[in-house]
Chains A and B, each alone.
Chain A
Amino acid sequence: SQTIHQWPATLVQPVGSPLSLECTVEGTSNPNLYWYRQAAGRGLQLLFYSVGIGQISSEVPQNLSASRPQDRQFILSSKKLLLSDSGFYLCAWTRGVTDTQYFGPGTRLTVL
């Protein structure tokens, strides 16, 4: 069976510091991978998605970036965090574009 992991689970960072969130999927190969952000009490906003190694599509221009160095690894990064980057970050995967997206446990990021 497939499993999706995210870490860290919780992160508190000062404004201006760098960020690296990691997502990995087990039990499948060549998944489509997604990063979402959820502000408090709100719906999910798609940030990035990837259909293969090194292939990243950005949905929202901002100070975040994503990378996919390995088939089942997806990383969300920032060089300098803003207060507005606070939120709950969710990673998801699918086998194909018409398949259901399955989500990881999420990372709660607080920028102070």
Chain B
Amino acid sequence: AQTVTQSQPEMSVQEAETVTLSCTYDTSESNYYLFWYKQPPSRQMILVIRQEAYKQQNATENRFSVNFQKAAKSFSLKISDSQLGDTAMYFCASSTEYGNKLVFGAGTILRVKS
């Protein structure tokens, strides 16, 4: 069974600064996918970034990048130049190639302060 752990319930960062959100996972699958989703106060779940486990290169999307450490089963999200609109709950999630399921962590509340 897959598990996803986010050990930081809440974090805060000053506007324009950089912040890193942590995520560890456990799976016995050889191929799998990792995601970060953002849930702002509207509660709409928005995809931030996706990483395929067989790709060694870390995914990036504008100000968002990941540090994927496959051996350590770690998948952290770095947000550069934080903006007030980044304030949200961030969820780490994993899915397997054949499992047809997305397993979520408990989430990290990120507050960006001006």
Residues of A participating in the B interface, judged by any CB pair closer than 8 Å: 32, 34, 38, 41-44, 46, 49, 51, 57, 59, 88, 90, 92, 97-98, 100-103, 105-106, 108
Q: Is the CB of A46 within 8 A of B44?
A: no
Selected contact of B33 from candidates A43, A92, A98, CB within 8 Å = A98
Closest residue of A by beta carbon distance from B9 = A41
Q: Is the CB of B35 within 8 A of A100?
A: yes
Residues of B participating in the A interface, judged by any CB pair closer than 8 Å: 33, 35, 37, 42-47, 50, 91, 95, 97-107
| Cβ contacts A to B, 15 pairs, < 8 Å | A34-B102, A42-B106, A42-B107, A44-B45, A44-B91, A44-B102, A44-B104, A88-B43, A90-B45, A97-B97, A97-B99, A98-B95, A100-B47, A102-B47, A106-B44
Closest residue of A by beta carbon distance from B102 = A101
Q: Is the CB of A32 within 8 A of B100?
A: yes
CB within 8 Å for A43 and B101 given contacts A100-B47, A100-B50: no
The complex places the Cα of A46 from the Cα of B4 at a distance, in Å, of 14
For the complex of A and B, list the 4 residue pairs with the smallest distance between their C-beta atoms, beginning with the closest. Answer: A103-B45, A43-B104, A97-B100, A44-B104
Q: Is the CB of A49 within 8 A of B104?
A: no
Residues in chain B near residue A100, CB distance under 8 A: 35, 47, 50
Q: Is the CB of A106 within 8 A of B106?
A: no
CB within 8 Å for A97 and B104 given contacts A88-B43, A106-B44: no
Closest residue of B by beta carbon distance from A96 = B100
Q: Is the CB of A43 within 8 A of B107?
A: yes
Residues in chain B near residue A34, CB distance under 8 A: 102
